Amino acid sequence: MRLIFLIILCFGWSTEVLSQGLRDTTIRIEEVHVVAKRLPGDIGLSRSRPDSMALVSSMTVQLSDLLAGYSPIFIKSYGNGSVATASFRGTAASHTQLIWNGINLNSPMRGSADLSLMPVIFIDDAWLLHGGSSMTETSGSLGGSIHLANKPDWSTGQNATLMVERASFNTKRYMAKIQSGKGRFRSVTRLMSDRSDNNIPFYNAGVLPTRKDTLRDADYLKWAGLQEFYIRMKDEKMVAARFWLQESDRNLPQLMSYEGASRNEFQNDRQFRAQVEYRDFSKTRQVHGSSGFNRTRMHYFREAPDIKYVNDDAVSIEQSWYNRFKISMNISERWSLSSAAEMNYHRVEAENRARNNGYSHDRIEGGITLHGQWQATGKLGLFLLNRSEYYDRKWVPLVPSGGFELQLPVRMPVMLKGNISGNYHKPALNDLYWMPGGNPMLKPEKGFTSDLSLAMESNTKDVWKQEITLFYSLIDNWIIWQPSANGAWYWEADNVKKVYSRGIEYQFSSQMNLGGGILRANGNYAYTRTTNENAVPSVDQSRGKQLIYIPINSGNLHLSWSYKPWTIRGETSFTGRRYTQSSNEYTHFENVLNPFWVTGCSAERIFSFAHIDLTTRIKIHNLLDVNYQQILWRPMPGRHYSLTLGMQWKN
């Protein structure tokens, strides 16, 4: 695999780069006033995105870190470098779909996506579709969807960014993004390496007597390369090809509460992705077609200490082929129509050699979407959408959605918008066929979601905007894994819950001139109540209780001040109380994870020369040295530091 990686790298890195300049993912950003252009198909949708400053300042980390700090999504992380999944509006990890240039990166085996394996430097644009708004692009997103895109910079030919970061716990990160080409051709090469001993000190409250401790056997190594080719033809047509290789080797530490001998436990991931894409833009029509392949090999190993007994030696191979075609047309000044069709094939082979079990299964799935929009007046827009689904020889003909947006008659721009959608989420292959515990008789999760939003923004020289959203969803046949009903040692999947989720999302951003510099502020807040509404036996106390690991309150806030070559940043995030038992009991300290604030600050300076910009940034993470856990008995780092050096070679 490394040989293939080097071949792609050598092919994509033109020698022109060595003699000319760089400038794509710029480290230095000049002051600009951006006016967002309405995207086709945006009527009535709830869409948000991290700003460009967030993407630039997060280039050395993973997508999980970006979303935890700059979105209302709650990220469940098992620790530095470990698995991280998303909970969108109080739903499960499998209910958030991760889309990369139109390809769904959720595992067909597990149903979820590991956001700790998505380098931010591999992203040019990122946005979120909340709740039923995700129906315009994908299905199964009961909470919402995360969209990532790669885009060439046609304004320059050769440009590059190189970054080196050293951080606490012997963490070393190296990043590069290099663009070459001229005329109608562009090649973009992105490289990433991230390794750490991850030996974080923490206060161990999981043992008696409690004590200061150090995390052991938690080191990791990740590296990846993404090669992109773009050809721009006449009449606004473009063809793209992308190839992504990635490897991750992670030792898995024991729980804080474990006091036995050290054991050998690790997870290795190998991924290869390829995609070809075609786009055709004209004044009245847009055509988008793509075909992609995704292969993931995961090896999980766990060996008991002392006796060297192998508990698990599991290898899984997932292979997926994705095909999608979409056409959008402006029928008139008031009417637009889009239709999309997709057909995907998945194959999963899973085997646990230590237990001598596993399964092999494939799945064909497809969908058709029709989406119509009507600009009824200059201030009122309406949309209707229907999605039909096919999977495992089942046809779901009707999954509808509809919405509106209304420009209110006030002095400043104020928009009222809303939508209501059906939704549908099929079981993952593990839910159906995992040995033991899979349930081939599982029903799909289905229900409906609705949003109502009020958005406003300034029409003055100081830029600010804010949006508040009320959301509601009711999902039947919620799939969970629970202890086997027959008393066996394993857990099994079943449709046991009706889940009611409701809450509020608030987000804002602002920019103003202050003291000769630019002050920027942005933040997110989410109030989320997600409860089980099933009629349950008297021994089950989960009815009406908050689902486990879902905080009722969470939020984040960022401030930055840029003055000439300096930028000072401050950030804080809050995560409310989370329960680890469905009964929400306080009777034991293991049943609840306490709320916490995590605060950080950084200072950055740019040194500009004739053809090179050098950037130095120092950051203090967890400034107040808070002791906290996101997952029970999984410690998170206290106060720690990072130093980042960046070089930008300009043409």
Positive or negative, the CA dihedral 71, 74, 77, 80 is positive
Structure-model confidence comparison of residues 459 and 351, the more confident one: 351
Number of structural domains in the chain = 1
Q: What is the pLDDT of residue 535?
A: 60
Length of the chain: 651
pLDDT above 70 coverage of the chain, percent: 92
Residue 20: is its pLDDT beyond 60? no
Residue 229: is its pLDDT beyond 50? yes
pTM, two decimal places: 0.92
Cα 190–chain centre separation? 19
pLDDT tens digits, 366-385: 999 999 999 999 899 999 99
Confidence label for 22 from pLDDT (cuts 50, 70 and 90): very low
Strands 74-77 and 103-104: unpaired
pLDDT tens digits, 261-295: 888 999 999 999 999 999 998 878 899 999 999 99
Mean pLDDT of the chain: 90
Q: What is the pLDDT of residue 19?
A: 35
Q: What is the pLDDT of residue 29?
A: 38
Q: What is the pLDDT of residue 537?
A: 56
d(CA 450, CA 473): 6
User: Which range is least confidently modeled, 15-24, 104-113, 500-509, 554-563?
Assistant: 15-24
Structural element, H or E, at residue 26: none
Cα 465–chain centre separation? 23
Residue 73: is its pLDDT beyond 70? yes
Q: What is the pLDDT of residue 589?
A: 63
Specify the CATH number for the domain of residue 517. Answer: 2.40.170.20
Q: Which of 461-465, 483-487, 536-540 has the highest mean pLDDT?
A: 461-465
Burial class (CB in 10 A: 0-12, 13-18, 19+), 376: exposed
Residue 3: is its pLDDT beyond 70? no
Residue 628: is its pLDDT beyond 50? yes
Q: Got the DSSP string for 199-259?
A: --EEEE-SSSS-EEEE--S--EEEEEEEEEEEEEETTTEEEEEEEEEEEEEEE-PPPTT--
Q: What is the pLDDT of residue 536?
A: 57
Cα radius of gyration rounded to whole Å, the chain: 25
Q: What is the pLDDT of residue 497?
A: 81
User: Which range is least confidently modeled, 202-211, 578-587, 599-608?
Assistant: 578-587
Nearest Cα neighbor of 405 from 452, 466, 473, 464 is 452
Mean of pLDDT values over 481-505: 86
Confidence label for 11 from pLDDT (cuts 50, 70 and 90): very low
Beta bridge partners of 163: 175, 646
Residue 224: is its pLDDT beyond 90? yes
Phi, psi of 2 (to 5 degrees): -65, -35
pLDDT tens digits, 301-358: 999 887 889 999 999 999 999 999 999 999 998 999 999 999 999 999 999 999 999 9
383 lies in which domain range? Answer: 2-649
3-state DSSP assignment of residue 302: strand
Give the chain's end-to-end CA distance (angstroms, integer).
Answer: 33
Residue 431: is its pLDDT beyond 60? yes
Cα 574–chain centre separation? 19
d(CA 272, CA 254): 30
User: Which range is least confidently modeled, 347-356, 589-598, 604-613, 628-637?
Assistant: 589-598
Residue 12: is its pLDDT beyond 60? no
Q: What is the pLDDT of residue 321?
A: 98
pLDDT tens digits, 582-599: 888 876 666 799 999 999
User: Which range is least confidently modeled, 157-161, 472-476, 477-481?
Assistant: 157-161
Mean of pLDDT values over 392-402: 92
Residue 204: is its pLDDT beyond 50? yes
Confidence label for 17 from pLDDT (cuts 50, 70 and 90): very low
